[in-house]
Each structure stands twice: as structure tokens, then as C-alpha cells.
């Protein structure tokens, strides 16, 4: 995992670090400062709690965790009943969880909580896994003395794209509010009103706007905060849990798939402190709708008489095999495959197509592993102790959201330098250094003294910017976290899906060990990178192109080149889940299974290979990429090796593609420089086709600094045309002070933006034309 093991701070000499106490008569020893609730939980004694949560600060709001304690420092007063979540254990403390006073106290708290609670259990999504049900059954009074009319409040209140609130069911434990405050440093959910009128609501009364709303549904101990996607879909007792790993981005948060029958009904977090710290983002949590989306490809398609028509697998594979071997062929994509499938694709390209024209980098990312540019690797948990972090033109929030949660915590005590043309750390304080893309390398070099002085510095970068920037980063000498553009970019690179790399970071031309495992001679000349492949295709040097799980028409920074290349190449095979823009141009379309529909391993951004399970079957006519590759390899007379080639002792360096031309606008101020920057819910992967994510889908978003927009007559929400080199796209203005003036930001992977060229003119769409265009 990490080549930078943490030394661990030495514990300072202190009073004994453990204390001894008794719980229900039995003696135990705990580290000093352990809360009673944790101690009791650890030894397996029962204790109810609502407001306490292991990942939140204790607050003592619900009063249900009552235990009886006796001993120092309360010895003089005799036994008292107190909240276990706000009291640490002391030396000699006697804790009784089931004494009569403790029982009575809990009973009274529960009776009080139920005074205004509705009798909703049969229609409540939490029913069956509700702490209020469970604790009332275990510790509650048999009946209530309250005979008056309950207070009525809003039910089924729509809080935003994913959340539903039932105010009546809320027990005001404030877990949600504290999560928003302490963990996210956002205020998307707040308490409003006072006393018995207190309710939870979104901050401004606007729909919930953050990326992490779903965690609230798991934090909420009752059925107050639930989700639209799971609403009334199942009961906890009819779901089957399957542990897996999210492949929505390169972080690889651990999760549990919940299935009812053959369908996914929800995804839940599965805490892995080293990766996700227990959280999921909404992209990961709700992005499972594509498994049942209607547009899923369920049968192979072959172009006949100019049209894509349904075909059998045999027909499609033999057509693909024939087309791919008719002349020089190249492979693009692979960043969304499993580790095993990436290896298979690598071998198929080298031995089946006899080419090193292979590249997973169909977007902006230039490399995936720090070792590929000769740098050392940071662990994700290094963020918890680093004192200086450089955020290099990278947005963890948009590219690996749960990493941003950790970074926000880091930013509370460490310096975070947010360098680049767009402000990327949005929910914590940082030292913002705004600069144009062409100044990045110089600005990074300027930070060298500061980095030299730092104890434990760290760089977060998404690998965009070319060799010059990589050199500047390398000069800082700090460990690097590379946020991947595609979920398994790291696995693709490690499998040698690059023109100058073989599996295990052997250099092309020096792959004797790889050749030994694969049992065949390898092509020795380094191949062309993605831009080279597309150029060759556009100029007629390539006979065939095999695109696997990629959509270069949307993702490649030079969309115009991708367009020409796909037009010119005589034979195009596309393997994907959906009929993407690229797949629509194909001669053969091979329907593949999605991330939750196949088993294997996926490498996250620090190269940790995590197992993924096949949770659902997927469309009957589609095959796992690995199976498609196996069958295609058979058609090409290649036997895929079961075994991965050994790793190279010193990893070979990757030749980085030159940075795409991001240039400032023209002098007149009329022209703006164009930046394509990732947005979480934009793009042409599964997110674009996911009905669950539809409410948050980002398309045509034009981000501009408010400065100077009046002169252009542009306000928030205005419809605009962006005029670029030879093409015009339409979008909607979002004013964003975090964007460098003189630049306009479009979402990477949002269709059209990559065809505008480096400079655009922004004009308001005349009102009448706006209506007509609809």
C-alpha cells in the first residue's frame, strides 16, 4: 500500500494510560478517557443511545444512555445516574447498567421521547432496524401515561434530491446536525424553532445541496431522515447484504449492497477507516440505478447496411475479431475495468493485436501511480497527520468526494494550499493561490522552501498538466496522492494499459518476465498515447480501434480530434454499458456488465486492490468485460494467462502526454480561456444514464467569476451560448467567485465542452431565441 509508513508520534510520559473500573460487578481496564458508553459496548453489556455515535463528538442530548455510577469522583454522594456518553471512566468507578435507578431513568426518557412520536412503524422505512423500536422494547415502559393529542408536524417533507424528512418521527438527537457541522463543516441541516416546536430543516429552507446527504439516513437512529430511492422499497428483513466496493470514483469506499430479490434497493456504508472513514457520498450511495436502467445494452450490435442491428455474441465477436486483425489496431480505455480485466485487455492488445498502441488515458489524467513519475506514495490516512497539503488544481470534492471529508478535517489544523484557476476546497479554510494553468509549474516551484520545512507534507493531484508540472511536483519531494479520473485508473496503469508500460510497471521492450508468464514474444516498440492513437486514426494510419469502457467523444480533452478520429477509423469496436456517443459510431457494440454486476478486484487511488462482489446479475444479454475479453482472445488465438506477471523491481516511468492547451482568453476581454474541470454528477459514464441521479445531473453548466459579467449582461441562471473554434454550445450561467476572472469553467465529460477549443466567447441567448430553442 504505502511506501511511506508513518513513524507514529512518541507517546509523551503521562499518568498511567489505563484505568480500572467495574462494569456490572466485573473488573475491566480501559485506556484513560474512554467514555462509559464505549466501555460498556466493548464488554458486550447493553446500553441504549441515540445522540451518541462513534464518529461524532458526544453531546449528551437524548439522555437515554443512563447508567448508575459510584466511586471517585462521586464517592461522597453515593451512587448517581448519569449519561454514559459524556462521562469517561475513572479509576475505581463502579458502573451498573441494569440497576433499578438506571432502568427507571431510561424508562422515563423513553416514555418522554414517545409522547409526540407517531404510531408510524408499519409505514416507516426504519421499522425493523429502528433504535426507537428496539430500545423501547428493551428498556421502555409498557405503556404511556400521556393521553393528550400528539403534536402534528410535517410528514414526508422533501428535503432535496435524495432526502425525505418526517418531522414527527425526529427525536432531536441532533446526529444529523452535528454530522453536518463537525464532519462536513456545512450547515445543510439545522435545528429550527425552540422547545417542543423544534424541528430539523435545511439551512436556508432550500433543497439540500451537498454531496453527502445520504449519510444522514444511516446516522438518523429513527425513521425521520430517509431516502427517496429506498422509500417503501423493502424491509430490513427482506434484504440480503453483499459486501462490495464502490466504483463511482477512484477512492473505492467500502459499501454493502442490499438486495431484495434480484434488485438492489439501497447501498449502505461499510466502515473502513483507512479508506472512507465510514462515509459514502451520494454519487456512490445512490448511483446504482443504472443496473436497471432501461437504456442498458442487452444484446450485441453489429453495423449492417449502415445501421446498428442486434446480433448474436458469436456474430459480434467474429466480426470484431475480423475487423481488429484486418490492419493496424489500437486500444483505448480500460480505466473502469477490474484489475483482472485490465490485465486481460493488456495481454489481448499485446499478443492478439500485436500492438503497444494502448492507452487508458482518454481524459485529462496523465498517470495514476506516484511511482510512475518517480515519487513516493502517500497513504490516505497520511492526511490525518500531515501539516502541509498542496491541493494542485484538483478537486477531491468533485473527483473523490469522501476524500474531501478527510481533507476538511486536515484543513482544521494544517495548512492547505489550494492552488489553481478554480477554488477547490470549498468547505474549509485554505490558503488560496489563484493562478492560470500555465503558471502552475512556477507556483509549485515557489513552494519548495515551505515544503522543505514541513514535517509531513503531502500533495494531492489528479495528474493533469503534463511533464513540466510533474517535474515541479517531483522537486517538492513530498509523497503524492493521485486522485484518479476513472475508478480503476490505477489498475489500468498497473496492468500496462499504456503505450510504454507492461503489467507490473515493466517498460515496453524490457518485459522478459511478462513474456515468460504470457508465453509469447511481445511487440518491442513503444506505442502511441491516446492523442497519438486518435491522430493516427484521424489520418488514416489505423485500421481499427477498440474502445473499452470509455467515451472519448465526451472525455478526451480535444473532442474535435476524437470526433475526426472516430469518423475516419474504418472499424470501431466499443464495449460499454450504454449506447454512448462513441458507441453510436461503432461497427460492433459489445454490451458489458457494470461494476456491481461482476466479481474481481479494483485498485483504489493508493493502489490498494479491494475485492468486489457480483451483487446483481445485470441484463441477460450482456457479459462481464472479462468474459468478453476471454472470448475475443479465443477468437484471436490468444490464451489469457491466469496469473499476473511479477512486479518490476524498479517501476518504469511513464511518459506523460503534453498538457492540453489551456490558454488565457484574448486581450480584448471578450474572449475567455476555457477550463474543463470535473464535476461529480456530469459526464457520460453510468451517471448520465442513472435514473436515481437524474435530479442532480449536471449538464451545460457554465461557471464564471461574477466580476465583469454585468458588462456581458450575464446573471446567475442566464442561458448563454459559448462560441468556440468552429462550434457553439449552449449552457446556463453559474456565478462562482472561486473561478479565476477571465476564465470560464465547463464540466469535463459534459458533452460539447471539449470541442470548443481553448478560447470561447460567451453571449447571452436572446430571450425569444431561448424560448424557441426549447
Partner 1 sequence: MGALSQVRSLGRGLATTFGYLFRPRVTVDYPERERPVPERFRGLHILDRHDGGLEKCVGCELCQAACPAHCITVEAAENPPDAAVSPGERYAWRYEIDLLRCIFCGMCEEACPTGAIQLTPRHDFVAFRREDFLVDKRWLTVPDPAVVAPEAEPVRPPAGAGGKMAG
Contacts to ligand SF4 by CB under 6 A? 117, 120-122, 124, 126-127, 130, 132-133, 169-176, 200, 219-220, 222-225
- H/E run at residue 767: helix 767-773
Return d(Cα 214, Cα 207) in angstroms, integer: 14
Instruction: Compute how many other C-beta atoms are within 10 angstroms of the C-beta atom of residue 631.
Output: 18
Return d(Cα 154, Cα 192) in angstroms, integer: 13
Closer by beta carbon to ligand SF4, 166 or else 357: 166
Confirm or reject binding of residue 51 to ligand FES (CB under 6 A): yes
Q: Contact letters (x/-) for partner 1, 573-612, by CB under 8 A?
A: ----------------------------------------
Can you give the three-state secondary structure of 381-399, one letter per residue? Answer: HHHHCCCEEEEECCCHHHH
**Binding range to ligand FES, per CB under 6 A, among 47-55, 230-238, 281-289, 632-640:** 47-55
**Least distance (Å) between residue 260 CB and partner 1:** 6
Binding partner of residue 263 among partner 1, ligand SF4, ligand FES, none, CB cut-off 5 to 8 Å per kind: partner 1
Within 507-652, residue ranges assigned H as helices are: 512-518, 530-538, 552-555, 559-568, 581-584, 625-635
Q: Do the beta carbons of residue 545 and residue 329 sit within 8 Å?
A: yes
CA–CA–CA angle 462, 467, 472 (5° rounding): 80
Nearest Cα residue to 255 out of 598, 615, 691, 686 = 615
Binding partner of residue 292 among partner 1, ligand SF4, ligand FES, none, CB cut-off 5 to 8 Å per kind: partner 1
Binding partner of residue 223 among partner 1, ligand FES, ligand SF4, none, CB cut-off 5 to 8 Å per kind: ligand SF4
Binding partner of residue 231 among ligand SF4, ligand FES, partner 1, none, CB cut-off 5 to 8 Å per kind: partner 1
Torsion of the alpha carbons at 86, 92, 96 and 100, rounded to the nearest 10: -100
Confirm or reject binding of residue 128 to ligand FES (CB under 6 A): no
Return d(Cα 664, Cα 295) in angstroms, integer: 40
**Least distance (Å) between residue 429 CB and ligand SF4:** 26
Return d(Cα 437, Cα 420) in angstroms, integer: 7
Binding partner of residue 219 among ligand SF4, partner 1, ligand FES, none, CB cut-off 5 to 8 Å per kind: ligand SF4
**Least distance (Å) between residue 122 CB and partner 1:** 4
As separate numbers, helices (DSSP H) first and strands (DSSP E) second, the chain gives 22, 35
**Least distance (Å) between residue 21 CB and ligand FES:** 18
**Least distance (Å) between residue 15 CB and ligand FES:** 26
Closer by beta carbon to ligand SF4, 52 or else 461: 52
Of the residues 23, 39, 61, 680, which one makes contact with ligand FES according to CB under 6 A = 61
**Binding range to partner 1, per CB under 8 A, among 76-84, 255-263, 599-607, 673-681:** 255-263
Q: Do the beta carbons of residue 351 and residue 634 sit within 8 Å?
A: no
Return d(Cα 105, Cα 112) in angstroms, integer: 11
Confirm or reject binding of residue 758 to partner 1 (CB under 8 A): no
Residues 6+ apart with CB under 8 A from 475: 444, 445, 448
Please, which of residues 182-211 interact with partner 1 by CB under 8 A? none
Confirm or reject binding of residue 242 to partner 1 (CB under 8 A): no
Of the residues 21, 23, 39, 64, which one makes contact with ligand FES according to CB under 6 A = 64
What one-character DSSP code corresponds to residue 313? Answer: H
What one-character DSSP code corresponds to residue 686? Answer: G
Helix axes 625-635, 339-347, angle to 10 degrees: 20
* Size of site (CB under 8 A) for partner 1: 17
| Residue spans of beta strands (DSSP E) within 554-646 | 571-576, 588-591, 600-603, 609-612
Binding partner of residue 83 among ligand FES, partner 1, ligand SF4, none, CB cut-off 5 to 8 Å per kind: ligand FES
3-state class of 243 per DSSP? strand
Closer by beta carbon to partner 1, 263 or else 309: 263
**Least distance (Å) between residue 86 CB and ligand FES:** 6
Of the residues 31, 262, 666, 713, which one makes contact with partner 1 according to CB under 8 A = 262
Closer by beta carbon to ligand FES, 83 or else 217: 83
Return d(Cα 593, Cα 578) in angstroms, integer: 10
Residue 193: left (phi > 0), alpha (psi -120 to 50), or beta? left
Confirm or reject binding of residue 237 to partner 1 (CB under 8 A): yes
Please, which of residues 81-120 interact with ligand FES by CB under 6 A? 83, 85
Confirm or reject binding of residue 50 to ligand FES (CB under 6 A): yes
Return d(Cα 77, Cα 602) in angstroms, integer: 58
Return d(Cα 205, Cα 188) in angstroms, integer: 9
Closer by beta carbon to ligand SF4, 222 or else 531: 222
Q: Is the peptide bond before 575 cis (omega within 30 degrees of 0)?
A: no
**Least distance (Å) between residue 232 CB and partner 1:** 4
**Binding range to partner 1, per CB under 8 A, among 18-26, 234-242, 448-456, 718-726:** 234-242
Return d(Cα 405, Cα 461) in angstroms, integer: 16
Please, which of residues 104-163 interact with partner 1 by CB under 8 A? 121-123, 127, 155-156
Confirm or reject binding of residue 695 to partner 1 (CB under 8 A): no
Confirm or reject binding of residue 524 to partner 1 (CB under 8 A): no
Q: Which residues bind ligand FES (CB under 6 A)?
A: 49-52, 60-65, 83, 85
Q: Which residues bind partner 1 (CB under 8 A)?
A: 121-123, 127, 155-156, 231-233, 235, 237-238, 260-263, 292
Amino acid at each position: 500500500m504505502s511506501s511511506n509508513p508513518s513513524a507514529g508520534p512518541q507517546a509523551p510520559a503521562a499518568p498511567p494510560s489505563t484505568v480500572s473500573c467495574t462494569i456490572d460487578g466485573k473488573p475491566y481496564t480501559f485506556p484513560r478517557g474512554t467514555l462509559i458508553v464505549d466501555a460498556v459496548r466493548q464488554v458486550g453489556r447493553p446500553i441504549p443511545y441515540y445522540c451518541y455515535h462513534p464518529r461524532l463528538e458526544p453531546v449528551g442530548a437524548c439522555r437515554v444512555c443512563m447508567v448508575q455510577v459510584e466511586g471517585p469522583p462521586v464517592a461522597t454522594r453515593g451512587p448517581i445516574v448519569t449519561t454514559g456518553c459524556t462521562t469517561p471512566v475513572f479509576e475505581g468507578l463502579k458502573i451498573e447498567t441494569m440497576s433499578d435507578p438506571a432502568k427507571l431513568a431510561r424508562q422515563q426518557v423513553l416514555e418522554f421521547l414517545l409522547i409526540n412520536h407517531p404510531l408510524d412503524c408499519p409505514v416507516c422505512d426504519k421499522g425493523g432496524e429502528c433504535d426507537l423500536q428496539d430500545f423501547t422494547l428493551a428498556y421502555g415502559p409498557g405503556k404511556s401515561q400521556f393521553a393528550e393529542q400528539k403534536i402534528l408536524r410535517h410528514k414526508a417533507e422533501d428535503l432535496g434530491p435524495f432526502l425525505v424528512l418526517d418531522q414527527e418521527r425526529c427525536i432531536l438527537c441532533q446526529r444529523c446536525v452535528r454530522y453536518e457541522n463537525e464532519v462536513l463543516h456545512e450547515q445543510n441541516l439545522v435545528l429550527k424553532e425552540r422547545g417542543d416546536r423544534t424541528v430539523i430543516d435545511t439551512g436556508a429552507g432550500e433543497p439540500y445541496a451537498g454531496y453527502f446527504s445520504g449519510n444522514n439516513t444511516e446516522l438518523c437512529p429513527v425513521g425521520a431522515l430517509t431516502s427517496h430511492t429506498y422509500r417503501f422499497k423493502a424491509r430490513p428483513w427482506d434484504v440480503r447484504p453483499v459486501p462490495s466496493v464502490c466504483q463511482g470514483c477512484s477512492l473505492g469506499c467500502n459499501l454493502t449492497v442490499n438486495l431484495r430479490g434480484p434488485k438492489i434497493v439501497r447501498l449502505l456504508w461499510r466502515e473502513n477507516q483507512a479508506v472512507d472513514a465510514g462515509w459514502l457520498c451520494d454519487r456512490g450511495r445512490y448511483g446504482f440505478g443504472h443496473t436497471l436502467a432501461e437504456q442498458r445494452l442487452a444484446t450485441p450490435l453489429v453495423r449492417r447496411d449502415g445501421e446498428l442491428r442486434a446480433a448474436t455474441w458469436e456474430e459480434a465477436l467474429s466480426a470484431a475479431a475480423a475487423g481488429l486483425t484486418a490492419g493496424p489496431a489500437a486500444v483505448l480505455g480500460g480505466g473502469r475495468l477490474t484489475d483482472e480485466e485490465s490485465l486481460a485487455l493488456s495481454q489481448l492488445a499485446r499478443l492478439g493485436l500485436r500492438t503497444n498502441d494502448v492507452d487508458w488515458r482518454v481524459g485529462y489524467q496523465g498517470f495514476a501511480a506516484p511511482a510512475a513519475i518517480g515519487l513516493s506514495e502517500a497513504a490516505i490516512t497520511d492526511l490525518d497527520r500531515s501539516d502541509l497539503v498542496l491541493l494542485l488544481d484538483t478537486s477531491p470534492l468533485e473527483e473523490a468526494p469522501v476524500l474531501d471529508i478527510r481533507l476538511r478535517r486536515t484543513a482544521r489544523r494544517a495548512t492547505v494550499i489550494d492552488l489553481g484557476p478554480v477554488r477547490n476546497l470549498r468547505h474549509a479554510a485554505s490558503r488560496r493561490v489563484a493562478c492560470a494553468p500555465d503558471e502552475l509549474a512556477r507556483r509549485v516551484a515557489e513552494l519548495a522552501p515551505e515544503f522543505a520545512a514541513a514535517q509531513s507534507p503531502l500533495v494531492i493531484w489528479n495528474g493533469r498538466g503534463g511533464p513540466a508540472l510533474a517535474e515541479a511536483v517531483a522537486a517538492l519531494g513530498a509523497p503524492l496522492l493521485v486522485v484518479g479520473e476513472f475508478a480503476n485508473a490505477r489498475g489500468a496503469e498497473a496492468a500496462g494499459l499504456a503505450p510504454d508500460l507492461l503489467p507490473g510497471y515493466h517498460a515496453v521492450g524490457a518485459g522478459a518476465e511478462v513474456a515468460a508468464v504470457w508465453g509469447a514474444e511481445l511487440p518491442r516498440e513503444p506505442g502511441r498515447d491516446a492523442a497519438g492513437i486518435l491522430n493516427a486514426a484521424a489520418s488514416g494510419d489505423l485500421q481499427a480501434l477498440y474502445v473499452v469502457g470509455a467515451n472519448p467523444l465526451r472525455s478526451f480533452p480535444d473532442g474535435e480530434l476524437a470526433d475526426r478520429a472516430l469518423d475516419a477509423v474504418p472499424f470501431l469496436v466499443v464495449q460499454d454499458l450504454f449506447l454512448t456517443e462513441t458507441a453510436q459510431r461503432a461497427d460492433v457494440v459489445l454490451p458489458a456488465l457494470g461494476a456491481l454486476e461482476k466479481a474481481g478486484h479494483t485498485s483504489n487511488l493508493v493502489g490498494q486492490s479491494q475485492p468486489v462482489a457480483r451483487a446483481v446479475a445485470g441484463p441477460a444479454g450482456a457479459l462481464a468485460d472479462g468474459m468478453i475479453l476471454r472470448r475475443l482472445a479465443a477468437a484471436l488465438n490468444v490464451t489469457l494467462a491466469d496469473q499476473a506477471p511479477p512486479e518490476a523491481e524498479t517501476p518504469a516511468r511513464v511518459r506523460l502526454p503534453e498538457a492540453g492547451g489551456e490558454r488565457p482568453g484574448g486581450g480584448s476581454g471578450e474572449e475567455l480561456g476555457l477550463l474543463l474541470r470535473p464535476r461529480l454528477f456530469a459526464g457520460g459514464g453510468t451517471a448520465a444514464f442513472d435514473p436515481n441521479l437524474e435530479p442532480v445531473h449536471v449538464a451545460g453548466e457554465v461557471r464564471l467569476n461574477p466580476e465583469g459579467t454585468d458588462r456581458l449582461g450575464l446573471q446567475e441562471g442566464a442561458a448563454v451560448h459559448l462560441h468556440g473554434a468552429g462550434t457553439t454550445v449552449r449552457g446556463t450561467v453559474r456565478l462562482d467567485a472561486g473561478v479565476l476572472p477571465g476564465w470560464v469553467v465547463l464540466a469535463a465529460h459534459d458533452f460539447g465542452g471539449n470541442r470548443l477549443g481553448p478560447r470561447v466567447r460567451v453571449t447571452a441567448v436572446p430571450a425569444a431565441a431561448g424560448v424557441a430553442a426549447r
